[in-house]
C-alpha cells in the first residue's frame, strides 16, 4: 500500500445524501452532508438515535451506497462502486472495530487476528509470516500471553484489544470504530480509548462513532449529526486522562444520588 501523507485527504463527502423508501414512506437519513477528514486525524461522530450517524458510518465503511452526492476515499470516488469493488476497498484500506467485538467464537485470539490475511487476494503471506505479523500486533495491544485463548476465555476489554489488532493487520489507511466502548466497563473503556488514541498518536487515522461525550473528548475533533445534517464540526483540545465516571462524579452536585443510563 502506498504511503499516506499527513496532509492528504482520507475522507471527503460532497452533498452526500441517503434516502430510504419512496414517496409517503420516504425517510431522509442523510441530507447533503459535507465533511473532510485528513490523514492523522482522530474524529468522533456524535448524534442522537435516528440522527443519521450510523448511516454515515455505513457509507464511510463502504457497506452502503449514497442516494446522491459523492464519497471520496483516499482520492478514489467510490460512490458508484459495485458491491464487489466496495468489498475489495474494505479488505485493502479499512480496519473495523465494533461494539460487539465480532470475533469468531471457535477461533483463538491469534487466529482471529490472522483472519483478514487469509482472505486477502493479493500479496499472500505464508502461514509463518501471518503468525509473525499477528503476534506482533497482539504484542502491541498487550495480549501475547492470550494468543491461544478463545474469545470466551477473554474479558470484554481483551476481546476488544484482539479486535483492534485484527483491524490493523492489513495496514489500513483508516480505522472505523463503531461504539468501541459500548459493551465495556469504565476501566476497560478507558484502556480501549487510550489504545485508539495511542494509535492515532502514531499517525493512524481514526473515525469513531460514540454516544458518550467523555469518550468523544479523546478525539481531536467532534462532528455532531442531527436530522441527517452536520449540526457542528469543531476541533477538540480536551484529552482526559482520568476515568469518565470519575470526571462525571466530580462535575455532579454533591447531594445528587440519581443515576441515568445512556440511550
Whether 88 is in a domain gets the answer yes
Determine contact, residues 53/47, Cβ cutoff 8 Å: yes
In a domain, 139, yes or no: no
Q: Give SS3 for 202.
A: coil
Domain of residue 179, residue span: 9-102+175-249
217-240 pLDDT, tens digit per residue, is 999 999 999 999 999 999 986 554
Q: Is there a domain that residue 39 lies in?
A: yes
* CATH code where residue 208 lies: 3.40.50.300
Half-sphere exposure of 253 (CA within 13 A, CB side): 5
Q: Could you tell me if 186 and 243 are in contact, meaning their C-beta atoms sit under 8 angstroms apart? A: yes
Percent of the chain surpassing pLDDT 90: 78
- Helical axes 156-168 vs 186-201, angle rounded to 10°: 20
Structural domain total, the chain: 1
User: Mind giving me the DSSP string for 11-69?
Assistant: EEEEEEEEEES-GGG-EEEEEEEEEEEETT-EEEEE--TTSSHHHHHHHHTTSS--SEE
- Name the CA dihedral angle for 194, 198, 200, 202, rounded to a multiple of 10 degrees: 180
Q: Is residue 107 part of a domain?
A: no
Express each pLDDT in 185-213 by its tens digit.
Answer: 999 999 999 999 999 999 999 999 999 99
- Is 58 a member of any domain? yes
Q: Exposed, middle or buried: residue 174 (CB in 10 Å: 0-12, 13-18, 19+)? A: buried
pTM: 0.84
Tens-digit pLDDT profile for residues 48-85: 989 999 999 999 999 999 999 999 999 999 999 999 99
Among the ranges given (38-47, 85-94, 129-138), the one the predictor scored with the smallest mean pLDDT: 85-94
Q: How far apart are CA 104 and CA 109, in angstroms?
A: 9
What are the distances in angstroms from CA 70 to CA 31, 34, 80, 160, 175?
Answer: 12, 9, 9, 32, 20
> Which grid cell is 4?
499516506
- Is position 54 within any domain? yes
By residue count, the chain amounts to 263
Amino acid at each position: 500500500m502506498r504511503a499516506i501523507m499527513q496532509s492528504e485527504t482520507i475522507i471527503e463527502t460532497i452533498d452526500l445524501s441517503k434516502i430510504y423508501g419512496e414517496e409517503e414512506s420516504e425517510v431522509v437519513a442523510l441530507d447533503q452532508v459535507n465533511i473532510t477528514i485528513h490523514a492523522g486525524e482522530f474524529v468522533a461522530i456524535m448524534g442522537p438515535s435516528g440522527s443519521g450517524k450510523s448511516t454515515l458510518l455505513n457509507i464511510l465503511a463502504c457497506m452502503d451506497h449514497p442516494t446522491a452526492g459523492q464519497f471520496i476515499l483516499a482520492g478514489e470516488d467510490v460512490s458508484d462502486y459495485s458491491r464487489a469493488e466496495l468489498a475489495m476497498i474494505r479488505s485493502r484500506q479499512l480496519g473495523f472495530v465494533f461494539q460487539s467485538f465480532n470475533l469468531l467464537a471457535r477461533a483463538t485470539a491469534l487466529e482471529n487476528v490472522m483472519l483478514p490475511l487469509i482472505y486477502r487476494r493479493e500479496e499472500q503471506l505464508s502461514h509463518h509470516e501471518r503468525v509473525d505479523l499477528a503476534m506482533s500486533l497482539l504484542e502491541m495491544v498487550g495480549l501475547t500471553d492470550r494468543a491461544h485463548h478463545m474469545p470466551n476465555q477473554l474479558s470484554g476489554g481483551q476481546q476488544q484489544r484482539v479486535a483492534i489488532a485484527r483491524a490493523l493487520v492489513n495496514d489500513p489507511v483508516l480505522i472505523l470504530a463503531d461504539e468501541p466502548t459500548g459493551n465495556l466497563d469504565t476501566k476497560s473503556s478507558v484502556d480501549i480509548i487510550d489504545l485508539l488514541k495511542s494509535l492515532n498518536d502514531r499517525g493512524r487515522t481514526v473515525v469513531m462513532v460514540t454516544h458518550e461525550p467523555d469518550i468523544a473528548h479523546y478525539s481531536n475533533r467532534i462532528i455532531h449529526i442531527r436530522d441527517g445534517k452536520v449540526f457542528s464540526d469543531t476541533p477538540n483540545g480536551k484529552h482526559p486522562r482520568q476515568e469518565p465516571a470519575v470526571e462525571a462524579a466530580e462535575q455532579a452536585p454533591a447531594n445528587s444520588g440519581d443515576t441515568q443510563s445512556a440511550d
